[in-house]
Structure 1
Amino acid sequence: MPTLRNSRLVRSALLAAVGGVVVCPRPLPAHDFVRESAPVRWVEQAMTEDLPPLKYPAYFDDFDKAKAQVHSGRYKTALLTLRRIANPKPEQLVIIALCKGKALAVTGRTEDAIKALTETTKVPFGKEQIELSAHPRVQLLHAEILAEAGRADDAIKVLRSHLKQYPDSWGGHYWAGEVSERLGDTESAKTFYAWFVDAPGEFWAKWTAKQSIPEFDDAEKVTWLGRSVDRWATLNEKYRNNKELPRQILNTFVKAKEIDADWWPAHVAAAEYFAERDDKKQAMGELGLALNANPQDVRALRLAGQISLAMFDFNRCDAAISALRKFDPDSVTADLLEGRNLMHQRLPKDAETPIQRVISAQPRNMEALGLLAATYALQLEEDKAEQILAQVDAVDVGNNNASAYLEVAEQLSAMRQYPRAAAKYKVAIARAPWWTAAWNGLGLLYTQSGDEAEAHAVIKSARELDPFNLETTNYLKLLNDMDSYKRIESEHFVLIFDETKDPILGEYLPQYLESIHADVAGEYKCAPPVKTFIEIFPSHAAFSVRTTGSPWIGTVGASTGRVIALVSPRKGGSNMEPFNWAQVLRHEYTHTVTLAATDNRIQHWMTEGLAVLEERTPMRWEWVPMLNKAVRDRELFTMENLTWGFVRPKKPTDRALAYAQSYWVCKYVQDTYGHGAILKMLEMFKNAGRMEDVFPAVTGKPLDDFYKDFLVWCDQQVEGWGYDEETSKKYDSVREQAEAMMKTDPKAAIPLWEKVLFLRPVDALPHTRLAGLYLFTKQYDRAIAHLEILHKVEIKDNRYAKQIARIYGRQEKWAEAAKYGLQAIYIDPYDLTAHQLLKEACEKSGDKAGAERENRVIPVLEKWLAAKQPGAAAESPKKE
């Protein structure tokens, strides 16, 4: 069960990257998960056993070299070295068997390894001679190999026999506990682990009392002590409200490394400890140190792959899989990682293949059975899923398995199948109430589904179970903060925000949200069945925790279905910069509607494409050259890879390209086949349809043929954009003339800039220049035409909207002035000049309600600005 305890690591943690929205796409920061002292080269080294040669002391013979090679992961090399030992000394036989058994097992030769460890050759043991197979260290390795081979029932028999012969075996009690957990026999596991705590040894009491006993000078035993007491504490809920215990246990791994700096298994133990508590950065740091010492340790590579997958670092996960298969082509661990990888790619059908390989080799592998049940659940094959879960219960020793149910719950939760996932989480919690991962998973699910009262209770329970869990701590702090937030409820929405830090948002958002509900819901023939929560967070860090549990993601908005989370649209602190919150909300609410229409089963690229389409704004300027290059160089994503441009970008432009291309695909389908085709696709995705089935059914063409036609359409789109070589030369020449003419005769520059616009009609520069020139020459209607184009594309700067409002104000077109004054506030609600413009326009146009609102808002805003920046409220309005 230790590998399954980390199943939560493979949930879709970066929710915003998968189901949220990057409204202002930019590359995610490159997190350095591996400490500087442990560079990432461990993955590359493990790809072959072409590892850096070891440096041996001059006195090392082949026996010494073989030991060093096995310890450092040179397993194939060690087997060759062992062959050269012709006449081993009797006292060397045990070490040779251990080296041989370990090397054979890791490289996939399990039966040969067991044979090497079950020989009846006599070996010295103290003052006696015993059979090799009866040696305590040989028995422990024998049991470990059996367990890793999926034969946990045979392993526990070996360990029980071992403990009868060696009742004081530290390794025996630890491994018996771990193997019992794999079998689902929690009660036996508790007993085995408790040996380290209870009389007569009371080793844990002696450890915490800092007593000195010989065993505490043995790095391996101290590591076993830490692992065992951690599991004992977890299974018996001893972490509950105990803030000191986590530090004490973590100190065992620190001490083990102090005892023996070369004892890299202590780093693996520490990594598992951190990973269990969702501290991925610390875990990867420890794994880096372990894998530097042994680049081919299976346990470390497995955990590295799981954490990498949780962080959507697919390249590193793939490298871990390749590394495992390099020294064991039939690696079960690699197959399980591959299955998880495919599940994360929303390919449950494809994930069945590697998972079934595991089950063929290890029919009782609980992790594989749980994942297989999840693949069926995601394909709506509920009967098959329940049959697998029943099979798990049948083979589980305690008939009380929780791990398989947690696997299903995590995968369903990642796909936003909230009620189904919650049901499985509750089974896992009922069966394993000590398991923090199940509590955390259910708590996160409730936050994403908008059931925050339930989330608070569940996460509080998780916090009590383990106060050291990083993700639990983050969520609980956030939920506590949210208790003080203001709530404004309208017919279809509930707005939740920090009124102290964002005192004016409640004046604008509810009205705007209600104004778009009928439009967006009507477009997709689906009204969300419950009110949508709009949560505005005062800082980007709080928003990120709310969305993913991590303090940073590169987005300003995310939808999890019923809940839409946004960063406050103001600059300062940890926030990015102001943004058009109205456009973002329309984008996000489109997600909510299309997710509801498909029971959260819409393809990710499609929900993003429809959300951009529903913004109803011109294409963003920065997308134009990017799309032009992608079309000309045939660098567009395939339909199969389009979603992974969002969550698995390989180039800085990949995420932006994925948004733009997804928008184009949706626009192409709608323009070519009609809006009904979009609705039909949504219906089929709701019924778990796959793209390769949906597209032929809707368009009458196989997916490959559809894509070929789409590429032809793309070629047609970029024609006339003015980025071909010949037009670019003309563009550059005329632009230079226009820029020069502006310095001598601005009016004469106008026809030159009109020609620049004709050459490249989807470029912001000529619109910007012409707007300025028409303002300069008092040709206001022409200026407005270009300012409107610039404003419709701009999502961060409200100067175009304010300029339009001013022009309409001079022309006494007060209704139009009010419209653009409000849109300036949509982009920057804390811009005092925008509010002053809007107030005047409302008063002059007779909009009494609007004027009253601005009369309420402006004093509050002036006070807020004065508190943020003394003197700011008294400044004259800015001039653009």
Structure 2
Amino acid sequence: MRPRIVIGAIVIAVCQWMMVAQSVRAATYTDVEALYLTGKIDEAKEAAAAEVERGVWNRRWSELLIKCQLSSGEYAEALETYQAALKRYPTSLPLRTLGIEVARYNGLPDQVATEKAFIHRYLETGQLRYATADTLVAAGRFFSNNGIDARIILKSFYDRVLESDSGNLDAILATAELAIDKGDFKVAAESIAKAKRLEIQDARLETLLAIALGPTDSKAATIALATALELNPNYAPALTLKAEKEIDRELYDQAGKTIEHLLRLNPKDEKAFALKAVIAHVEGDYDREKELRQKALRHYGDNPEVDHLIGRKLSDKYRFKEGAEYQRRSLTFDADYVPATFQLAQDLLRLGDDEIGWQLADEVNRQDPYNVVAYNLMTLKDRTDGFETLAASSARQVSRDFSEPGEILIRMDPHERQVYGTAAAEILNEAKQALCEKYDLQLKRPVIVEIFPKQSDFAIRTFGLPGGEGFLGVCFGHVITANSPASGGDRPSNWKSVLWHEFCHVVTLTKTKNRMPRWLSEGISVYEEVRRDPRWGQSMTARYREMILGDDYTPIAKLSSAFLAPPSAEHLQFAYYESSLVVEFIIDNYGTDALNAILDTLGEGIPINIALAKHTDPMERLEVAFRAFARQRAEGFGPGLAFDRPEFKEGTPQEEIDLWASENPANYWARMRMARNEMSSRNYEAAANHLNYLVDHDAATGERGGVLELLAECRRELHQAGEEKVILERYLNESADALPALRRRMELAAKDDEWGTVFSAGEQALEVQPFAAGIHRELIRAATEVGEPKRAIDSLIALKELDPIDAAGLDYQLAVAFESQGEIEQAKRAVVDALLEAPRYRDALSLLNQLALPKVDRPDHQSNSQASQSNASQSDASEPEEGVAGDAMPEDAEKPDAEKADAVKPDTMPQSNTEEVVGEAKKAEGKSVVEDDADERAENETETEDPK
């Protein structure tokens, strides 16, 4: 009986084996590849191994098996499979390119060189003329990794495939990869969009799309990454990108779980160990960081990507010094590794090491002319080379290479420097004095502040690519980049508050060696803005009240993540506000010394939660206490008002919303709704009643489109100037950038001869828009009215840069202002400028003659010139405003009377040394006095020519 049982068992086993073998044989390559692409690596590996073992003559089975083995960390097995396959398919280019990766992860540099040499010889034979699509794509990828012109790769390989097969996924993927490698994210996204239109679903496409959209559309990028992981939960590049994003958001526990997922798939994954090293560095565990880096390099010992990845992520955390050091390590493995070279260039530029940084960026641009980011940077450099450098301590121009420890060097467009450069120097110097003292910091190296007239230039300098429209300024430590107020549109932000905010970052980042979480850095800067000026920074609003008391509140431990991928711009602004509340809470309850101690502890490399616990309370208690503090602050806004509102669906009839509003008169949102409805119907009195109700309930803020701005508009429409002025004063005490309200306040004050108010409102307006010629004219007029020419100097200088109609008149007024302050040399230069514009300008000639006299013999010119100043300023003020660029004069416009100058005979002109001074000035312009006289005679002859 036993033999029969054995035989029966054998028969059953054989049948089962045959069934399995039959099922494996029945599986097509496409089916098994689908298993691999959806993350079923083990199943795909088993099926591919069976086909290779069966000896099927199809190299793709061997290639797929190698990919599965590499994905699982089976590097030795992959080498064995490759060597066996090479014997059967020695001329396969796709197999050979895969063999380079196999050799690298087995520590065989000689074999890597051999494979590369073979591929080069193969490609030189011209066999690509008859190559298959996968061979062409493999050749293109090989060339792209070896510094070949991107345009040639696209034309000769990828486009050639797509011309015959527009839906070839490998070619589409390769095109997108090449575009991303060159920083051309737009082309990458367009390439991926073509595949998606063909309804191709692939985790590789979605991951590339997430990378391409990352710099410009974080929300869409997040969706693409989530889609990739739905299609393939085990796709290593998608998991790596997810871990990177979690590290960026300081969600280190979540990042750790994602990294462990990677290591379960491949226990030898070098990127997983590299990212763990980043977390160890951030947490101050430097021995662990070193150990993890060694693990990352264990199998591919000279892999430049490991150190590049670690350094890039550290730079993303604003630790540029450490990041630069890792890029240097990367380049010791491969001196031609362009990503590390370019990242090092960017790190050095952000560290203020411009000379070497620009050299490296130029090197990348020459080596890789299709690197979009490098090209953008070098194009920008051509423009910024024309910037002038201003030392904040003296507000004077210095050379570009000027270096003084602790000095603030402001680099600006020469035109803009004349308009508001001095004011920028003053606010930055004040910030340095106040904040360095408060945070007990002595700056040991210069701080560079670059201000860009064009938003696109700011974005390229800051991010490498156009975009970043929501950013006003960025601080990297000792380097600040900022948008000029000229790029702010109709309602620019307060540029002084921006510079104060960013310089506060200089202080806190320097104090902590850039080792601080994003929320704390931003929170301190916003907090300090409000301390400098209550109008700056942020304050409680009805919407912030709603967010704090609702689901939008973010715990302290997760606040940094609120900055990375906010659902909306409003949520981003709320993250700034909530962070500032945390700082206020810490200072109010534990003191400024505690905050300073936290920063010192962070500088030692201690994680934020430990630093907070050491100097305040454990994180759990701190979270509870702050939540209560924030709720109390929110509930204190608008006492007696209701703030709940129904969630109206899209398409809800307006009548239904209006009915709800009318039935809830004690509700903030209902009152605002009714006020706006009345305003749209021009029922301003009724609207004002609704708005006054909110003012009476302490729910008025300085926000744009808020209660006070709307109420001021109502009073203006009702011609209630007195009430309007009261509301404007309150509004302007709470808003930092209410430019239209500031203009209106100046207008009302000028009508009532309230010149002190004109000065205060005008100076506040220039903090928002220094390029508004009309504001400068009003300030000049105010200075004239009160007889204080000194107060007009800055506006006169600025107005000269804004294409004035009467340049000579402005120069003359400037000379008078300087002379009144005893600044005779400046006065002489200004009056000579006036005479260069209008050589027969009688008042200017008279003033120049008097300036040449000894002081004791010099008459009081100020009183005699006030009428002239007043007339000139009023003449200017009557001209229409031409926007921030100033008043441009048409080419065929008639010159003002000052420039025509009263016709005076030469023999009646004051003599003294007037002609000598003017002559010297004209020589400097390349024209002699004789030549100028000849020009005037010719001009006179033309004027007196017989009309016939």
AA aligned to 1:870 is A
Cα 1:194–1:793 shift into 2, 3 Å: farther
| Alpha-carbon distance in 2 for matches of 1:527, 1:730 | 49
Label 1:853 to 1:187 Cα distance change in 2 as closer, same or farther (>3 A): farther
1:543 partner SS: helix
CA contact (8 A) 1:787 1:800 kept: yes
Report how far residue 262 of structure 1 moved: 3.9
- Which residue is 1:70 aligned to? none
Tell me which amino acid in the other structure corresponds to 1:365. Answer: D
Report the Cα offset of residue 460 of structure 1: 0.8
TM-score (normalised: structure 1): 0.75
CA distance in 1, matches of 2:141, 2:178: 8
1:537 CA displacement: 0.7
Pick the aligned partner of 1:791 from 709, 719, 732.
732
Identity level (%):
19
Would you say the 8 A contact 1:621–1:793 is kept in 2? no
Q: Aligned partner of 1:533: which letter? A: I
- Matches of residues 126-205 of structure 1 in structure 2 within 5 Å? 131-132=55-56, 135-182=58-105, 188-198=111-121, 202-203=124-125
The one-character-per-residue Cα deviations of 1:90-145 (angstroms, maximum 9, x if unpaired) are xx95x84634643444455545544433448997xxxxxxx33x753322222222
Query: Which residue number in structure 2 is paired with residue 584 of structure 1?
Result: 498
Write out aligned runs for 1:341-356 (5 A): 341-348=245-252, 350-356=254-260
Distance 1:501 1:715 in 2: 41
Q: 1:368 aligns with which of 246, 249, 272?
A: 272
Amino acid at match of 1:705: V
Q: Write the deviation string for residues 645-696 of structure 1: whole angstroms up to 9, x where unpaired.
A: 3321224531222222223332333334433343333334334444544444
| Partner of residue 429, structure 2 | 514
Output the CA distance in 1 between the equivalents of 2:198 and 2:98.
Answer: 23
Partner residue in 1 for 2:161: 256
How far 1:476 moved relative to its partner?
A: 1.6
Question: What is aligned with 1:418?
Answer: 320
> Are the aligned partners of 2:283 and 2:607 in contact in 1 as well (CA < 8 Å)?
no
Larger Rg: 2
How does 1:460-859 map onto structure 2 within 5 Å? Answer: 460-491=362-393, 492-500=407-415, 503-554=418-469, 555-570=471-486, 577-616=491-530, 617-618=534-535, 624-700=541-617, 702=620, 703-720=622-639, 722=641, 724=643, 727-728=666-667, 732=671, 757-763=695-701, 765-766=707-708, 769=711, 786-801=727-742, 818-841=759-782, 850-859=791-800
Report the Cα offset of residue 830 of structure 1: 1.3
Q: Does 1:448 align with 2:448?
A: no
Distance 1:576 1:689, change over 3 A: farther
Q: Which amino acid aligns with 1:839?
A: I
Q: Secondary structure at the match of 1:713?
A: helix
Q: Is 1:433 aligned with 2:348?
A: no
CA contact (8 A) 1:561 1:592 kept: yes
Check 1:403–1:536 CA distance in 2 against 1; reply closer, same or farther (3 A cut): same
Q: How does 1:34-113 map to 2 (within 5 A)?
A: 96=27, 98-99=29-30, 101-106=32-37, 108-113=39-44
- Per the normalisation by structure 2, the TM-score is 0.70
Determine the structure 2 residue equivalent to 1:54: none
2-structure distance, mates of 1:197, 1:121 = 28
* Partner Cα distance (1:194, 1:713) in 2: 71
Corresponding letter in the other structure for 1:168? T
Question: Does the aligned pair in 2 maintain the 1:219–1:259 contact within 8 Å?
Answer: no
In structure 2, the residue matched to 1:47 is none
CA distances 1:139-174 after superposition (whole Å, capped 9, x unpaired): 222222212222234323322332233321122212
Residues 529-563 of structure 1, C-alpha deviations (whole Å, 9 max, x = no match): 32222211111111111111121112222222222
The change in CA–CA distance for 1:872 and 1:516 in structure 2 (over 3 A counts) is farther
Q: CA deviation at 1:383?
A: 1.5
Tell me, what secondary structure is at the counterpart of 1:570? Answer: helix
Which runs of no fewer than 5 residues in structure 1 stay unpaired? 1-82, 124-130, 208-212, 876-880
Structure 1 CA distance for aligned equivalents of residues 778 and 249 of structure 2: 49
**Letter matched to residue 436 of structure 2:** A
The residue type paired with residue 354 of structure 2 is E
Given candidates 136, 142, 155, the residue that maps to 1:228 is 142
Cα shift at 1:257: 1.8
Per the alignment, residue 171 of structure 2 pairs with 266
Give the Cα–Cα distance (whole angstroms) in 2 for the partners of residues 420 and 510 of structure 1.
31
Paired with 1:630 and 1:519, the residues of 2 have a C-alpha distance of 33
Find the aligned partners of 1:704 and 1:784 in 2 and give their Cα distance: 44
Displacement of 1:438 in angstroms is 0.8
Distance in 2 of aligned mates of 1:345 and 1:854 = 45
Q: Determine the C-alpha separation between the residues in 2 that align with 1:431 and 1:303.
A: 27
Deviations along 1:598-634, one digit per CA (max 9) or x if unpaired, are 2222222222222222222248899612113224545
Distance 1:818 1:480 in 2: 39
Name the CA shift for 1:159/1:771 in 2 (closer, same or farther; >3 Å).
Answer: closer
Q: Distance in 1 between matches of 2:199 and 2:69?
A: 22
Structure 1: how far apart are the matches of 2:677 and 2:86? 89
- Residues 334-413 of structure 1 mapped to structure 2, 5 A cutoff: 334-348=238-252, 350-359=254-263, 361-396=265-300, 399-413=301-315
Aligned counterpart for 2:48 among listed residues 117, 121, 134: 117
CA contact (8 A) 2:78 2:102 kept: yes
Shift of 1:803: 5.8
- Alpha carbons of structure 1 residues 591 and 122: separation in structure 2 relative to 1, 3 Å: closer
RMSD: 4.2
Per the TM alignment, residue 799 of structure 1 is displaced from its structure 2 partner at its CA by 4.8
| Correspondence for 2:888 among 863, 870, 874 | 870
1:497 shift after superposition: 1.3
Gap runs ≥5 in structure 2: 1-17, 394-406, 644-663, 806-881, 895-948
Kindly indicate whether the alpha-carbon contact (under 8 Å) linking 1:348 and 1:378 is maintained by their aligned counterparts in 2: no
Distance in 2 (alpha carbons) for counterparts of 1:565 and 1:737: 39
**Conservation of the 8 A alpha-carbon contact between 2:675 and 2:691:** no
The answer on whether the counterparts of 1:625 and 1:723 sit within 8 Å (CA) in structure 2 is no
Aligned residues of 1:106 and 1:298 also touching (Cα < 8 A): yes
Counterpart residue type for residue 718 of structure 1? F
Deviation at 1:422, TM superposition (A): 0.9
Give secondary structure in 2 for the equivalent of 1:494: strand
Shift of 1:409: 0.5
C-alpha distance in 2 between matches for 1:278 and 1:751:
56
Query: Which 10-residue stretch deviates more, 805-814 or 784-793?
Result: 805-814
Higher mean alpha-carbon deviation, 765-774 vs 252-261, is at: 765-774
Structure 2 counterpart of 1:512, which letter? I
Q: Distance in 2 between matches of 1:475 and 1:167?
A: 44
Count of aligned pairs between the two proteins: 756
Determine the structure 2 residue equivalent to 1:46.
Answer: none
How many Å separate the matches in 1 of 2:179 and 2:688? 64
Measured after TM superposition, the shift of residue 458 of structure 1 is 0.9
